Amino acid sequence: MKNNRILLNSIVVLLLVLFCGTLNAAVKLPRLVSNGMVLQRNETICIWGWADAEENVEIEFLNKQYKTRADRNGNWQLELNAMAAGGPYSMKINDIELNNILVGDVWLASGQSNMELWLSRVTDLYANEISRINNSDIRFFRSSTRENAEDAKSDYPDGKWLPASPENVMGFSAVAWFFASKIHEQEKVPVGIISTAIGGSPAEAWLSNEKARPFLNEWLECKAEIDAENEKRSDADKAYNWWHEVNKNDPGVGKWSKNDVDVSRWPQISLPGYWNDKGVDISNGSIWFCKEFQLDESLAGEEAILRLGRIINSDSAFVNGTFVGNITYQYPPRIYTIPEGVLKAGTNKIMVRVFNQGGRGGFVEEKPYEVRVGNKVIDITGDWHYHIGAELNPPKSSGSLSFRPGGLFNSLISPIKNQSVKGVIWYQGESNTGRPNEYAHLFKDLILDWRTQLNQPELPFLYVQLANLGLPKKQPGESGWAQVRDAQRRVLELPNTGMAVAFDLGEWNDIHPLNKKEVANRLALEAQRVAYGNQEVVSSGPLYRSMEIQNGAIVLSFSSVGEGLFANNLLEGFQIAGDDGSFVWAKAVVLSKNTVKVWSDKVLQPKEVRYGWEDNPEYANLKNKAGLPASPFTTEK
């Protein structure tokens, strides 16, 4: 009996050792190496991961075997032979089986919010097209992390490859989707997009630690000063909660959102517009707006859509006392569903509580403000009743710093280092318009840095020039947006780069314009030239090349004109200056296939020309015969 018990215990111990050894020996894979992944065609493929120190790793793929051993730290990687596009395939890595693998072109999509902006935000323009998306040959990978990591990460905390199916596409980047769709159409291969864009991010956040060090030192100094100032604040100031205070001081909380509130004695204001411009002096706090509209009995009770354009800064909306939605920051369009049974015959009441934490608050002009019930559209612009809720004077704070230089590279680009990609599409620059002079060097450094870090020295890098924003100016002046656009143009000096001009695709009242499809089409044109070697394609509009002063005028030469400059236009958008550097509007005409003459009777000895030099160069209209617009530029060196 005793011997049997000893034998049994020995067997149990042995089994535990074997079981634990099996657990420890298990291979771990990065999230990019997973079911549904897309591998880069015609390039050596790297598969990597982790295991126990010196653990054997074997990969079986397309009837071939690849073997290696993990190093002392448990890291391993294997290089697979380059292969043509195809799939779906399966891959076995030790005991792990991966399925539904495609081989095609993998593109990295990065930058800030205009690249991050998802398809659900552009349904006003592309509803029918989006509703038809269902293509398993196009796949997206995105992690939810927004960490500003101090150190480079080896993997993402989450994320998986998702096919372009109806249940997934609304969360895809709009620019990246339309770009991937165009590449798939042209190349007839699967397309994978690794999406890493983060709204509001400056370029220096996307540098590797080494390249970010000069920016990081300044950032750390600023952070130390801010932390010291905030530390001096009183305990009461530190404990100050803006949302608590606004709700505590707003008499309408829990009352004015109800359907029975009487607004007849509230003053009126015409909306849309900024309320400060209309005599309502409040910049910090809450304000309530009420609009009544009439509805036929035949439409009562139906589900409807409430459109409230864009509101600065955040809002909560109610219809007939029923909460229908809220948005917590100014940029997304307000599209709220009014549920069945809420609308009634006769008078209906919309109540919107708006919150603003500084600056001009309001309802942005030239956006949709309406109720849509069935086929009927009810305009709700015009007179609204309003009542100030809470007006606050919050304690001053030194604020905080976001986007640590190098932080987003560490968390979002570093995990891609072993992944072969066809190229990069990039849409960023808005967050650097306050520092345009450094942007040309910064952006060039970023491109070269990524090529080094990803071990692809000729990596195609395609990017979007800043779109137009704001009202056009009547007189020539300085523009940080124009300076960044010119810095972006000059980055074309680097090989294997391409730029999509977008100053004609924006919206004066929205930093996130909807027309992402044409942006993607222009990126795809540049991809044909830069990444796919098509030197016959006209991939961009005219690009400034050189100038010559002739008889009181300046003659400009352009590249990328294709069959020639479009001559059937009265050219606008040109400015000219003499030695004093004072710019005036200039006349301009097309002289030949690739030259333009610019002059002004007010400048007899011209020295410099600028084109499209404002935040919104609405009237700039130089283009080539392919219809692609010329990039804004200055002849100043």
Pairing of strands 369-373, 311-312: unpaired
CATH of the domain at 123: 3.40.50.1110
Residue 145 lies in a domain: yes
DSSP H helices, 390-434, are: 407-408
Other CB atoms within 10 A of residue 280 CB = 15
- Rounded Cα distance between 129 and 127, Å, is 6
Residue ranges of the chain with pLDDT lower than 50? 1-2, 6-8, 10-24
DSSP H helices, 417-515, are: 436-453, 480-490
Rg of the chain, C-alpha, whole Å: 29
Residue 227 lies in a domain: no
Look at residue 591 in the predicted model and tell me its pLDDT. 97
Residue 228 lies in a domain: no
The total number of structural domains in the chain stands at 4
Q: Are residues 331 and 437 in the same domain?
A: no
Q: Are residues 197 and 162 in the same domain?
A: yes
**Of 331, 358, 391, which marks where a domain is finished?**
391
pLDDT tens digit sequence for 123-137: 999 999 999 999 999
Q: Are residues 385 and 251 in the same domain?
A: yes
Residue 271 lies in a domain: yes
Note down the domain range covering 519: 106-218+407-530
Other CB atoms within 10 A of residue 224 CB = 10
Look at residue 238 in the predicted model and tell me its pLDDT. 84
pLDDT tens digit sequence for 197-212: 999 999 999 999 999 9
Residues whose CB is less than 8 angstroms from the CB of residue 218 and which lie 6 or more positions away in sequence, other chains included: none
Q: Are residues 369 and 433 in the same domain?
A: no
Q: Are residues 336 and 282 in the same domain?
A: yes
Q: Are residues 488 and 573 in the same domain?
A: no
Quick one: tokens of 21?
Answer: 């050894």
Q: Are 275 and 355 spatial neighbours (Cβ–Cβ below 8 Å)?
A: no
Q: Are 145 and 156 spatial neighbours (Cβ–Cβ below 8 Å)?
A: yes
Helices 436-453, 480-490: crossing angle, 10 deg rounding: 40
- Rounded Cα distance between 24 and 76, Å, is 15
Q: Which residues of 407-445 are buried (b: 16+ CB within 10 A; e: fewer)?
A: bbbbbbbbbbebbbbbbbbbbbbbbbbeebeebbebbbb
CATH of the domain at 607: 2.40.10
Look at residue 142 in the predicted model and tell me its pLDDT. 98
Look at residue 25 in the predicted model and tell me its pLDDT. 52
**Of 99, 120, 140, which marks where a domain is finished?**
99
Q: Are 57 and 67 spatial neighbours (Cβ–Cβ below 8 Å)?
A: yes
Q: What percent of the chain has pLDDT over 90?
A: 91
Residue 320 lies in a domain: yes
- Rounded Cα distance between 316 and 290, Å, is 12
Q: Are 268 and 386 spatial neighbours (Cβ–Cβ below 8 Å)?
A: yes
- Pick the closest to residue 429 from 401, 461, 464, 469 (CA basis): 464
Q: Are residues 56 and 147 in the same domain?
A: no
- Pick the closest to residue 52 from 78, 88, 20 (CA basis): 20
Q: Collapsing DSSP states into helix, strand and coil, what is residue 78?
A: strand
Residues whose CB is less than 8 angstroms from the CB of residue 181 and which lie 6 or more positions away in sequence, other chains included: 135, 138, 520
Look at residue 301 in the predicted model and tell me its pLDDT. 95
Q: Are residues 367 and 464 in the same domain?
A: no
CATH of the domain at 281: 2.60.120.260
Residue 612 lies in a domain: yes
Side chain identity, residue 107: W
pLDDT tens digit sequence for 406-434: 999 999 999 999 999 999 999 999 999 99
Q: Are residues 567 and 628 in the same domain?
A: yes
Q: Are residues 513 and 547 in the same domain?
A: no
Q: Which residues of 111-127 are buried (b: 16+ CB within 10 A; e: fewer)?
A: bbbbbbbbbebbbeebe
Residues whose CB is less than 8 angstroms from the CB of residue 213 and which lie 6 or more positions away in sequence, other chains included: 405, 406
Q: Are residues 213 and 111 in the same domain?
A: yes
Q: Are residues 92 and 110 in the same domain?
A: no
In Å, how far are 46, 152, 234, 410 from 76, measured between CA atoms?
10, 18, 53, 20
Pairing of strands 96-111, 423-427: parallel
The reply to whether the predicted model has a pTM over 0.95 is no
Q: How many helices (H) and strands (E) does the chain have?
A: 11, 34
Residue 538 lies in a domain: no
**Of 99, 115, 150, which marks where a domain is finished?**
99
Strand partners, 499: 463
Residue 399 lies in a domain: no
- Pick the closest to residue 198 from 498, 430, 533, 517 (CA basis): 430
